[in-house]
Amino acid sequence: MNPFEITILGCGSALPTTLHNPSSQLVRLNQKLFMIDCGEGTQLQMRKFKTHIGKLHSIFISHLHGDHVFGLPGLISTLDLLGRTGDLNIYAPKEIETFFKPILSYFNPHLSFKINIIALHPDKFETIFENNSIRISSFPLKHRIATCGFLFEEKERPLHIKREMIDFYHIPITQIKAIKEGEDFYLADGTLIPNHTLTFPAAPPRKYAYCSDTAYNPEMIPYIEGVDVLYHEATFAENETVRAHETYHSTAREAAEIAKAAHVKKLIVGHFSSRYQENDILLNEAMSVFTNTELANEGLIIQL
Residue 41 lies inside a defined structural domain of this protein: yes
Q: Report how many domains make up the chain.
A: 2
Active-site pick, 37, 67, 213, 228: 67
Q: Is 67 a catalytic residue?
A: yes
Residues 169 and 43 in one domain: no
Task: Say if residue 1's pLDDT is above 80.
Answer: no
List pLDDT tens digits, range 243-268.
999 999 999 999 999 999 999 999 99
In a domain, 229, yes or no: no
C-alpha distances (whole Å) from 165 to each of 170, 184, 189, 201 are: 8, 12, 17, 15
Q: In this structure, how many other beta carbons lie within 10 angstroms of the beta carbon of residue 303?
A: 11
Query: Is 279 inside a domain boundary?
Result: no
Which segments within the chain are labelled E, that is strand?
Answer: 4-10, 24-29, 32-38, 56-60, 88-92, 115-119, 126-130, 134-140, 148-154, 160-161, 185-186, 192-193, 199-200, 207-211, 229-233, 266-270, 293-295, 301-303
Residues 76 and 168 in one domain: no
Residue 297: C-alpha distances to residues 91, 112, 210 (Å):
25, 34, 15
Q: How far apart are CA 55 and CA 10, in angstroms?
A: 19
Domain extent at residue 192: 160-200
> Would you say residue 88 lies in a domain?
yes
Pair (77, 115) in one structural domain: yes
Percent of the chain's residues with pLDDT above 90: 75
Give backbone dihedrals phi and psi of 226, rounded to 5 degrees, phi first.
75, 15
Which pLDDT belongs to residue 185? 81
pLDDT score for 188: 85
The pLDDT assigned to 165 comes to 83
Task: Look at residue 286 and tell me if it is in a domain.
Answer: no
* 71 and 185 part of one domain: no
One domain, residues 93 and 43: yes
- 40 and 111 housed in the same domain: yes
What pLDDT sits at residue 120?
Answer: 97
Say if residue 177 is in the same domain as residue 60. no
Same domain, 115 and 193: no
- Mean pLDDT score, 164-188: 86
Is the domain of 40 the same as that of 92? yes
Q: Are residues 272 and 234 in contact, defined by beta-carbon separation less than 8 angstroms? A: yes
* The domain boundary residue, chosen from 200, 221, 256: 200
15 compared with 118, residue with greater pLDDT: 118
